[in-house]
Structure 1
Amino acid sequence: MAVPKRKVSPHRRGNRRSHDSLSVDTYVEDNESGELRRRHHIDLSTGKYRGRQILEPNDNY
């Protein structure tokens, strides 16, 4: 059975867990509609991405 040779220090434990935290999604205000949307995502209310019409406009969002 494998047994650790020494106790892992709190510093090493913290370094290992440093990437486990959850990040908050960032939102930006759309230039045309003024609504919040995720960066690099299509605005679902207008159906546009970077000024180009990608999807049909949807009134449900």
Structure 2
Amino acid sequence: MAVPKRRTSRANTRHRRAQWKAAAPTLADCPCPRREKVIPHRACTHCGLYRDRQITEPR
């Protein structure tokens, strides 16, 4: 089993962890007239449209 020879310093650990970032979700415009922002491949939460078809009840 591989075992580290030396302890990783705080600077190196923090330098490595600094690269872990949360990415903002990609948003697309809904085809409805209001142009709500929608996560791709999901029905619009406002109007209920998905690929120009009514999937859920509009709010």
**TM-score normalised by the shorter chain: which range applies?**
0.5 to 0.7
Percent identity, aligned pairs only, is: 33
* Structure 1 segments unaligned to the other structure (5+ residues): none
Normalised to the residue count of structure 2, the TM-score between the two structures is 0.60
Q: What do residues 27-51 of structure 1 show as CA deviations (whole Å, max 9, x unaligned)?
A: 1122223111111111011111001
Root-mean-square deviation (CA, aligned residues, Å) is 2.7
| Large movers: runs of 4+ above 6 Å | none
Normalised to the residue count of structure 1, the TM-score between the two structures is 0.59
Aligned pair count reads 52
* Structure 2 segments unaligned to the other structure (5+ residues): none
Q: What do residues 3-56 of structure 1 show as CA deviations (whole Å, max 9, x unaligned)?
A: 512566x5xx74xx55x3211111112222311111111101111100111101
